[in-house]
Amino acid sequence: MNQDATVEQLMIGTGIYAALEGTIDFHIHGNPDYCARLLDDADVVALAKATRMRAVMLKSHVVPSADRAYAAQKAVGGGIEVFGLICLNPAVGGMNPDAVAMAIRCGVKAVWMPSMWAENHAGYVRRSGRKMGYDSVGMMFPDQGETILLADRKTMKPEVARILDMVAEADIMLATGHLGVDESHVLLAEAKQRGITKLVVHTVNYHVMKFPLADLKEMVAQYGAALEFGFSSLPNGLWDPADPARVTSVGDIGEIMRAVGPENCLVSSDCGMFSMPMPIEAMRIWIEHLKYLRFTPAEIDAMTKHVAARLLGLPPA
């Protein structure tokens, strides 16, 4: 028996990871990155393949990851779909249409608005008066973060409009990143107007965003967006002591999912940091949480398989 078969037997044969078969995790951080990660890209993909996951998407905050996805998929010998994206942080020039055009040509399946370098996020940390743990990953927040809006805080920048048109033409996913609630409404409305149908509100249980439920319901109903819930943003002792007022419990998440419909939600690991479990373990625990919340098998399949497949342009399983 070869080594890959042995790993698969350990993962699936024990039954521990059987629930992961056919699932998709579209938000994983691997090495290489600007800070040390728990696993290399190839290890992330090998473990996902061993548990018979259908697909994963590799995220980097600082570089497009389509080339890394290609290399990792080839390294494990296929048998799983691996995708990359581009996140519009300063390392790629922020709202840079040229970077997006090249990333699309290289095969990215998603364009994400700025993450930790977004002004919504940077301003949140500045107002807190604390580093909130980001010094552990060498993160320095800018005096002025990235935004999609002009100085009037209402009008979208022309370069963002160009990017949205490219996303629409390529028919790939657009995610709100760490933008604030008002920016996200502007982005999603403009995206819908330009014909983008694969829309994601990024990690709505993350303490930096935590949009009001009324806004989340509008983003689903008016723009057709899906809501992402990340494992690394569950109550975990990492951010909770720093900002307990913004903790979103598992029970809170269940209420949001039911309010908008599980068919409009998906879960991801958003893992890769040393303070979190391996991505496959995060997805396994997610499924256990969803079972505990009494979601049906069909609803769990929607949130772990079908919504992500649509967003990545994969055919129904």
* pLDDT 10s digits, 146-196: 999 999 988 999 999 999 999 999 999 999 999 999 999 999 999 999 999
Q: Which of 36-40, 67-71, 122-126, 194-198 has the lowest mean pLDDT?
A: 122-126
- For residue 34, name the pLDDT band (cuts at 50, 70, 90): confident
* pLDDT 10s digits, 70-107: 999 999 999 999 999 999 999 999 999 999 999 999 99
Residue 12 CB burial class (10 angstroms; 0-12, 13-18, ≥19): middle
Distance CA 38, CA 36 (A): 7
Tokens 């879960």 belong to 267
Q: 313: which residues sit within 8 A by CB, 6+ positions away?
A: 109, 171, 172, 198
State percent of the chain over pLDDT 90: 77
Q: State residue 123's pLDDT score.
A: 87
Q: Residue 5 pLDDT more than 60?
A: no
Q: Residue 245 pLDDT more than 60?
A: yes
SS (H, E, C) the chain: CCHHHHHHHHHHHCCCCHHHCCCEEEEECCECCCCCCCCEHHHHHHHHHHCCCCEEEECCCCCCCHHHHHHHHHHCCCCCEEEECEECCHHHCCCCHHHHHHHHHCCCCEEECCCCCEHHHHHHHHHHCCCCCHHHHCCCCCCCCECCECCCCCCECHHHHHHHHHHHHHCCEEECCCCCHHHHHHHHHHHHHCCCCCEEECCCCCCCCCCCHHHHHHHHHHHCCEEEEEHHHCCCCCCCCCCHHHCCCHHHHHHHHHHHCHHHEEEECCECCCCCCCHHHHHHHHHHHHHHCCCCHHHHHHHHHHHHHHHCCCCCC
58: left (phi over 0), alpha (psi -120 to 50) or beta: beta
Q: Residue 295 pLDDT more than 90?
A: yes
**Domain 88-311 carries which CATH code?**
3.20.20.140
Whole-number mean pLDDT of the chain?
A: 91
Q: State residue 257's pLDDT score.
A: 98
Q: Residue 1 pLDDT more than 50?
A: no
* pLDDT 10s digits, 101-144: 999 999 999 999 999 899 999 888 888 776 655 655 566 677 78
Between 129 and 255, where is the model more confident? 255
Residue ranges covered by each domain of the chain: 88-311
Distance CA 75, CA 193 (A): 40
